[in-house]
Amino acid sequence: MSTEPGTAGTQTQHVPVPRTPELVMATRAGRAAAAVVRISDRGARIAVVTIALVWHLAIGLPAVLAARSQLAAPQVVVGAWLLVAALGGLAGAWLLRDAALPALPLAALLLAVDVAVFAAAGRSQLFGPANWVWGGLAWFFVVVLWRRPVHWLFALLAAHACTGVAAVVLYGATEAPDLARAIMALYATSSLPAAVFAGGATLTALSRDRAATAATTNAMVAEREAAEQARRDRRERLALVSAAAGEVLTELAQGRADPADPQVQRRCTHAAARLRRLIAESDDVPHPLLHELRAAADLAERNGLPIELVTIGTPPPLPVQVRRSLTDPLIAVLADARDWARLTVVSSSDEVVVALVTPDAAGPEANAPPAGDGDGRVEHRYERDGKIRWTQTRWHR
Amino acid sequence: MDADSLAQVKPERPVGVAIVDDHPVVIDGVRAWLATEPRLTVLATGDDPDEVLRADPAADVILLDLRLHGRTVLDKLAELSAAGRRVVVYSEHSDPQTMLAALDAGAVAFLAKHEGREHCVATVLDAAADRPYVAPALAGAMVGDSRPDRPVLSDKEREALLLWFQSMSKASVARRMRISEHTVKQYVDRARIKYSRVGRPAATKAALLARAIEDGLIRPEEIGIYRSHAATDWPTP
């Protein structure tokens, strides 16, 4: 006799699942570290944006306006100031809202401004405060390159220095005092932004490491506690099961129980099945799926059903709805199983197959289990062939 | 049980079996199982493989408990297999690692102790003829094998192993896969033969391979360049 599968459902909606416990731990640690980094360098970002804009407004603007008439091309200098003010404001707002800046185009624009202002300032204002790019521009470099590698900033500062030196040479300001002024100006205006930038990067890296270490440690502590809990549970269950097995063995040894008595045979079968299941539990921390199946097996057994549970391999972490789709149909069939039941779980990193086989008692098509409820890639089969009822759920990555 | 393979065992002389276990009650139990089959005769028993074989060197098949006096005797198993002794391991330690380690060491078959009653006779008869016999627990271990050097099984072989492990009924597997029971056994046996290429070489593994070729279970050209051919299915009539 052969019957068609009672129900067979295949769902294809994908549920993203972390691959291994190590990866889950690493992902969690990574997320925690990223959050810490975001929070911890917020202060530094506010400081950098504030310094850049305040310097630009309070030192650069008055100097430009006061010396406007002495500039070779005042429109260019003022226009560049306005452009950088707008750009700095935008970039600052962006940075404070945690968005990534298009660093390279912005850096290129700042360098173009650098060259234009040096050219438009003229010889008389080359070292004057109206040539605002000497001092103010480096802070904008820091803003647009925030969180980039520190050598990007050094490269940009070097380009800035080259522009300055080229201007000095081209304007013919090669007297010793002029050169000294140029070097002083470059050193004074570059060192502080570079220090702030490097300091910020170092602090960020340190806090990221610390956060990752803390998250990993927490995960390990949680894992150890779960393992100890599992061990305590098993010891308690072993004590119970051993007591039950010892009792029936003692009665047999003393001749108070008759090996031919079906009741005694049943007690032996139960005790053996429970001991075997307990021995088969080799995982330190029970996977939630195995935990649920063991609980279902224990329940069925308390209702008088000798049940075997064999697991092979370790299931990957599974979302709760996938676990439910895997276990629910089997638990429904288990509820009216008679005589015996065999529950098997075969797992690999990208497949979990759970099957329940029970004898196919004659009778109506009772309790064909419901198909999965459409949450995850769990395939469900149920068939009976007159000898056995076979329920299988299978999850594929 | 698989009558087709049993029928081919030579009827002239019964298969001699030695039982090595450190629990007399288990020896008596196994002896009782084997006594139901006239083609089998128990020649010697004891708790030390060397002594048992000294007592009767002619044993065709050795039933070996993998744990003797608190010690796992995988090394002894390898030594016996290398010497061409057909060893059927039976053990209450039916975790996949132990089973696969026993196959690697050259065991012809592995029986979990709770499978003994149902599969013991068939396993010993097949072992005597250098044919594989895969009981459900071993099928589970093979299908769950995730070691990097595991043999490459075809989809059909994997599915047959998985369903055999789940249901313990080849008839049900055959109905489920819509193939004959004979073909189910072929898929399962072919997967087992592929395992004779894993681990250290042993005379017993070579014998399994030779018999599998003789029976047409596997092609000779598949042996040398194993992996490239292993994934293809070639259904037999």
pLDDT in tens, A318-335: 888 888 889 888 888 888
Per-residue HEC secondary structure of chain B comes to CCHHHHCCCCCCCCEEEEEECCCHHHHHHHHHHHHCCCCEEEEEEECCHHHHHHHCCCCCEEEEECEECCEECHHHHHHHHHCCCEEEEEECCCCHHHHHHHHHHCCCEEEEHHHHHHHHHHHHHHHHCCCCCCCHHHHHHHHCCCCCCCCCCCHHHHHHHHHHHHHCCHHHHHHHHCCCHHHHHHHHHHHHHHHHHCCCCCHHHHHHHHHHHHCCCCCCHHHHCHHHHHCCCCCCC
pLDDT of A370: 56
Beta-carbon separation of B166 and A344 below 8 A: yes
Spatial separation of the C-alpha atoms in residues A146 and A279, rounded to whole Å: 57
Does A3 contact B at CB distance below 8 Å? no
Q: Say what the pLDDT of residue B1 is.
A: 42
Residue A245 domain-assigned (yes or no): no
CATH number at residue A295: 3.30.565.10
pLDDT computed for residue B226 by the predictor: 45
**A315 and A201 fall within a common domain:** no
Q: Of A340 and A41, which is predicted with more confidence?
A: A340
Confidence of residue A347 (pLDDT cuts 50, 70, 90): very high
Q: Do B95 and A390 touch (CB under 8 A)?
A: no
Report whether A389 contacts B173 (CB < 8 A): no
Are B175 and A355 inside 8 Å of each other by CB?
Answer: no
Q: What is the pLDDT of residue A150?
A: 86
**B-interface mutation test, from A346, A360, A396, most B Cβ less than 10 A away:** A346
Average pLDDT, chain B: 85
* Distance of residue A14 Cα from the nearest chain B Cα, in angstroms: 23
Percent above pLDDT 90 for chain A? 10
More confident of the two residues B42 and A385? B42
DSSP per-residue string spanning A321-340: HHHHHHHHHHHHHHHT--S-
Whether A44 and A145 map to the same domain: the answer is yes
Nearest CB to B172 within list A312, A348, A388: A388
User: Do A342 and B95 make contact, defined as CB atoms within 8 angstroms?
Assistant: no
- Please tell me the least confidently modeled range out of A138-142, A258-262, B215-219: B215-219
Query: In this structure, are A187 and A58 located in the same domain?
Result: yes
Taking CB atoms and an 8 Å limit, are A313 and B162 in contact across chains? no
Of B188, B175, B174, which Cα lies nearest the Cα of B218? B188
Q: Is B135 on the interface with A (CB under 8 A)?
A: no
User: Looking at CA atoms only, how far is residue B23 from chain A in angstroms?
Assistant: 17
A174-183 pLDDT per residue, tens: 788 888 888 8
Residue B232: what pLDDT?
46
B172 in A contact zone (CB under 8 Å) = yes
Q: Which residues pair with B90 in a beta bridge?
A: B65, B111
Say which of B146, B169, B171 has its CB closest to residue A313: B146
Judgement on whether residues A7 and A33 belong to the same structural domain of the protein? no
Residues A153 and A302 in one domain: no
**How much is the average pLDDT of B188-202?**
85
Extents of the domains making up chain B: 3-216
Q: Is the pLDDT of residue B2 over 50?
A: no
Residue A278 counted as domain residue: no
Same-domain status, A7 and A94: no
What does the pLDDT average to over B190-205?
Answer: 84
**CB neighbour class for B89 (10 Å; exposed up to 12, middle 13-18, buried from 19):** buried
The model's pTM is: 0.62
Q: How far is B74 from chain A (nearest CA, A)?
A: 21
Paired with A352 in beta bridges are A347, A395
Are the C-beta atoms of A8 and A378 separated by less than 8 Å? Answer: no
Does A11 have pLDDT greater than 60?
no
Q: Tokens representing A353?
A: 């197959």
pLDDT at A130: 80
Q: Specify if A13 maps to a domain.
A: yes
Domain of A290 in residue numbering reads as 1-17+286-397
- pLDDT tens-digit readout, B43-97: 999 999 999 988 888 899 999 999 999 889 999 999 999 888 999 998 888 889 9
pLDDT in tens, A97-153: 877 788 888 899 998 988 888 888 888 888 887 888 887 888 899 888 888 888 888
Interchain pair A348, B137: CB under 8 A: no
**How many folded domains does chain A comprise?**
2
Mean pLDDT in residue range A62-87: 86
CA distance B115 to chain A (A): 12
Co-location of A147 and A12 in the same domain: no
Sheet containing strand A307-312, edge to edge, reads A7-10, A378-384, A388-396, A351-359, A341-348, A307-312
- Confidence check: pLDDT of B134 > 90: yes
CB contact, 8 Å: B165 with chain A?
A: yes
pLDDT score of A192 more than 80: yes
Residue B132's nearest CA partner among B64, B224, B195, B58 is B195
Higher pLDDT pick, B76 / B210:
B76
Predicted confidence (pLDDT) at residue B150 exceeds the cutoff of 80: yes
Please check whether residues A12 and A38 belong to one and the same domain.
Answer: no
CB contact under 8 A, B146 and A276: no
What's the first-to-final CA gap in chain A, in angstroms? 34
Instruction: Identify the pLDDT of residue A245.
Output: 87
Helical H segments across A254-287, by residue range: 262-280
Q: Nearest-CA residue of chain A relative to B137?
A: A310
DSSP string, A113-172: HHHHHHHHH-STTSSSTT-THHHHHHHHHHHHTTTS-HHHHHHHHHHHHHHHHHHHHHTT
Band of residue B185 on the pLDDT scale cut at 50, 70, 90: very high
What are the backbone dihedrals phi and psi of residue A161, each rounded to the nearest 5 degrees, phi first? -65, -40
Which residue's structure tokens are 């308390």?
A: A302
Residue B137: its pLDDT value, please?
93
Interface touch B167/A392, C-beta < 8 Å: no
Over residues A10-39, mean pLDDT:
55
Q: Which residues of B123-134 are buried (b: 16+ CB within 10 A; e: fewer)?
A: bbbbbbbbbbbb
Residue B128 exposure: Cα atoms within 13 Å on the Cβ side: 26
Last residue of a domain, one of A182, A216, A250: A216
Tell me: do A138 and A162 sit in the same domain.
yes
Q: Which residues of B touch A390 (CB under 8 A)?
A: 166-167, 172, 176
User: Distance between CA atoms of A48 and A54, rounded to whole angstroms?
Assistant: 10
A and B: number of Cβ contacts within 8 A: 52
| Same domain, yes or no: A8 and A35 | no
Q: How many CB atoms lie within 10 A of CB A67?
A: 20
C-alpha span between B77 and B141 (Å, rounded): 19
In this structure, the answer to whether residues A97 and A140 fall within a common structural domain is yes
Strand locations in chain A, DSSP E?
7-10, 307-312, 341-348, 351-359, 378-384, 388-396
**pLDDT value, residue B101:** 92
A78 in a structural domain: yes
Asked if CATH classification 3.40.50.2300 holds for the domain at B3-216, the reply, yes or no, is: yes
Does the structure show a pLDDT above 90 at B158?
yes
CA-nearest residue to B176 within chain A is A383
Could you give the ipTM of this predicted complex? Answer: 0.82
Q: Counting beta carbons within 10 angstroms of the beta carbon of residue A327, is it exposed (0 to 12), middle (13 to 18) or buried (19 or more)?
A: buried
Query: Most A CBs within 10 Å: which of B145, B146, B172, as the mutation test of the A interface?
Result: B172
